[in-house]
Amino acid sequence: MPSDMSDNLFSKTNRDIARTYWIIVGVVIGSLTALNIIDRILVRSRFKAAANNSPHPTRVKNKIGQIWATATAVLREAALPSVRSFTNKNTLLAMFTPLPLGRSVVVFIYMAMVAIMLSINVYTSGYWYYEKIAYRAAWVSVTQIPFVLLISGRLSLFTLLTNIPGERINWLHRWVGRVILVSVLVHMALFWRGWDLSDFLQTELEIMPMVRYGFGGFGVLGWIMFTSIAPVRWYTYELFYLNHLASVGALLWCLYMHVPKSAIYNVWLGIAFVAFDRFLRAALFLYSNIHSSSTSTTKSSYSLHFGHTAEIDILDRKENLTRVVIKDVKMKWRAGQHIYLSIPSLRPFESHPFSISNTYEALPLPGKEYKELGNATATHNGSRDLHLLISSRAGFSKQLHRKCGPADNAPVVLKAFIEGPYGSPPAWNTFETVVLIATSTGVTFTLPILEEIASNPACVRRIHFHWTVRHVSDLKLLTKRLARLGNKARGKGVDVFINIAVTCGTMKTAKDGKFVVGSDDGDSFGAAGSVASKGSEYLLLKTVEKDGTVDEITPVNGEPVASCCAATSPSQAAQAHTRTISTSSSNSSASDEEGAPCCCAAGTGNSCCETVCTCGFSSDDIEFSCGRPLISKMILPPIELAEGETVVACCANRRLMDDVRNYVGRVCDERAVHKGSGAQGVLCWTEGFY
């Protein structure tokens, strides 16, 4: 039971401080809610302008709009700078990378606010000196408990009001938790000191059960902090998650037994926030997973199903990529959102977040023929599928991959449950220019954005799509779909530039003056092979021809190259290139038509740069390059061309995302975005899979 003890002791000022804390929190949440509403109004007005064929639907039109745009630009620039992550891996070192500037400022302000709350109007001397400060610290600590729980859920009240999803605010959740630990430490240490001075410590522990619960609560809080630090969290996420839930329950119980009646509302408020989130999630889970089906046309044959059929197959064995197709999904989603997937027959109590790699589209009438992007024409059966592209790691994803077996057989069918969609990405088609940057499986985030824009460009006039992959073999899987989407968007008047950079393959110059993509492993392109245009500014490596022979491989731009071919000796390169020329010229009559039989021919041996393919798409569809593309080359040209607002979306490893954030911030500052120079705003949106 909550204690009656010390209910009124020194509590007037403390209650006022607690009230002030919640007024500040309320004002901040209210402001974020207002921003959310304004953002929705802006989105609508842009759609309206686009529907009215306005030449620049994303441009500011009046003075208030200009003030708003300038304030937004200043805040974005201030928030973007980040220290480059010390490592890309989930190791101890990653934990020490500081937060980006904007987040650091928020944490600093929060800490300063709590420090002021701890010290304002507090006694500096007198008999009750230690007790008074200890009580203040107790109030400050317990007052923060509901807030830390409010910002913890996937469907919290905070998320619903502000449209800031849980995974984008969890850094604050962690920092508020740390601040609570410090204020609890102050509370405990000062009581300890006061009792110690009056020789009362032992008696307190013996006669006051609430004190024992207090120590218990502190122990649980310390345990939560320790088990939440990044390396422990990464080591085994499921254990972290279960432990976190159980520990929060234990903490709330200890608090319930420890705090006086006058402060118990904080415990109930915390429980209410958690219950709100859990209730909505349970409802969403049921809604997402219960669906009906019928085998005949009579209504009576409808039956309810719990869970979905998931078809799982291997997309790329070498890259350990698995594709999961969830059948009969009724929820709506937007490009850039993710779901939580659980497959109990593989791992009963686990659910993992994965980006949805296809777009939500209105269903055609059942029985009608339809052509899905990247897929063959099929007769529609009235169901909508949701696609996931999963790269194999150590646990669930690896087991999923293994389940498919060694041979490329028919997809494995399992029962799956989904929860979502989660995430609040911007409305991509309300920007004038869209720059999409992905490495490896990050394409699962950017590809549906391209797909969504290709279906309904609205305000979009230009898309630059960059995808960096390690191996040529990665390309054949999604290149075809990418090219189709590019053409679909072009057909709707969007200027589309697609670049695929291969970091472990190379480009070579064939006699016909075209660059061709070489593979590093003897693996040849599928029907989606490629030819890139000569002279591309994106090439980091190119072969130099003298009198028809190859002399050397030279890095263009003097940039370091990641290509394995950089290590190839000139003589090897010459040999490889000679093979390239003969192979490509012998195939020079190959059709560029999509779906034409591939004209690839593997070179002898298994070394880098030996396999060459010149068939596939024309250079207008997709440009291929070798080595890592420069960030400036990816971002600056479209921003300079933009006549309206730009969004730069990046799904990659930590370091690339930091680089992109820093670069966008710097460019906006240099170009004096929305500060009288005429340069238009840029939103930088990064998404990490860790």
Ligand X SMILES: Cc1cc2nc3c(=O)[nH]c(=O)nc-3n(C[C@H](O)[C@H](O)[C@H](O)COP(=O)(O)OP(=O)(O)OC[C@H]3O[C@@H](n4cnc5c(N)ncnc54)[C@H](O)[C@@H]3O)c2cc1C
Q: Is 475 left (phi over 0), alpha (psi -120 to 50) or beta?
A: alpha
* Among residues 103, 212, 393, 675, the one that binds ligand X under rule CB under 6 A: 393
391 binds ligand X (CB under 6 A): yes
Nearer of residues 152 and 397 to ligand X, judged by Cβ: 397
Check: CB of residue 640 under 8 Å from CB of residue 668. no
Q: Two tokens at 453?
A: 């824009």
Give me the count of residues in the chain. 690
Residue from the set 106, 122, 129, 167 that interacts with ligand X by CB under 6 A: 167
Nearer to ligand X, 235 or 279 (CB): 235
Cα–Cα distance, 261 to 404 (Å, whole number): 57
Binding of ligand X by 551 (CB under 6 A)? no
Q: 342 or 614: whose CB is closer to ligand X?
A: 342
3-state secondary structure of 421: strand
Torsions phi, psi for 52 (to 5 deg): -90, 15
At closest approach, how far in Å is the CB of 169 from ligand X? 13
Q: Could you give the CA distance from residue 270 to residue 142 in angstroms, rounded to a whole number?
A: 10
Q: Rule CB under 6 A: choose which of 150, 169, 389, 502 binds ligand X.
A: 389
Rounded Cα distance, 324 and 387, in Å: 6
Binding segment (CB under 6 A) for ligand X, from list 46-54, 233-241, 280-288, 560-568: 233-241
**Range 154-181 burial, b when 16+ CB lie within 10 A, else e:** bbbbbbeebbbbbbebebbbbbbbebbe
**Cα–Cα distance, 522 to 288 (Å, whole number):** 44
In this structure, the number of other CB atoms found within 10 A of the CB of residue 78 comes to: 13
Instruction: Show contacts with ligand X in window 86-115 (CB under 6 A).
Output: 90
The region of 41-49, 53-61, 230-238, 476-484 touching ligand X under the rule CB under 6 A is 230-238
Closest by CA position to 635, among listed 620, 654, 656 = 656
Q: At its nearest, how many Å lie between ligand X and the CB of residue 411?
A: 18
Size of the site for ligand X (CB under 6 A): 23
Residues 587 and 338: their CA atoms lie apart, in Å, by: 43
Q: Of the listed pieces 12-20, 72-80, 369-377, 386-394, which binds ligand X according to CB under 6 A?
A: 386-394
Binding track over 320-359 against ligand X, x by CB under 6 A = ------------------x-------------xxxx----
HSE-up of residue 554 (Cα within 13 Å, Cβ side): 9
Look up residue 393 and give its amino acid: R
CB of 650 to ligand X, least distance (A): 14
By the rule CB under 6 A, 308 interacts with ligand X = no
Q: Which is nearer to ligand X, 100 or 638 (CB)?
A: 100
Nearer to ligand X, 401 or 461 (CB): 401
CB atoms inside a 10 Å sphere around CB 275? 12
- In the bound state with ligand X, the residue whose beta carbon lies nearer, of 100 and 166, is 166
Smallest gap from Cβ 531 to ligand X, in A, equals: 30
**Tokens matching residue 253:** 């119980």
Tell me which stretch binds ligand X (CB under 6 A): 49-57, 61-69, 384-392, 635-643. Answer: 384-392
d(CA 136, CA 271): 23
CB of 442 to ligand X, least distance (A): 8
169 near ligand X, judged by CB under 6 A = no
Contact between residue 354 and residue 338 where contact means Cβ atoms under 8 Å apart: yes
Which residue's CB comes closest to ligand X? Answer: 395
Q: Which range touches ligand X (CB under 6 A), out of 173-181, 388-396, 426-434, 497-505?
A: 388-396
Among 177, 344, 395, 522, binds ligand X (CB under 6 A): 395
Contact residue for ligand X among 11, 72, 289, 441 (CB under 6 A)? 441
Query: Rule CB under 6 A: is residue 468 a binding residue for ligand X?
Result: no
Whether 624 contacts 515, CB under 8 Å: yes
Phi/psi at 543 (5° precision): -85, 145
353, exposed or middle or buried, with CB in 10 Å at 0-12, 13-18, 19+?
middle
Taking the least distance from each CB to ligand X, the nearer of 197 and 239 is 239
Please say whether the beta carbons of 284 and 419 come within 8 A: yes
Asked whether position 390 contacts ligand X by CB under 6 A, the answer is: yes
Using CB under 6 A, which of the segments 34-42, 387-395, 488-496, 652-660 binds ligand X? Answer: 387-395
CA angle, 394 as apex, 390 and 398 as ends, to 5°?
45
List the one residue from 22, 171, 192, 237 that touches ligand X (CB under 6 A).
237
Task: State the residues that interact with ligand X by CB under 6 A.
Answer: 90, 167, 233-234, 237, 338, 352-355, 389-391, 393-398, 441, 444, 689-690
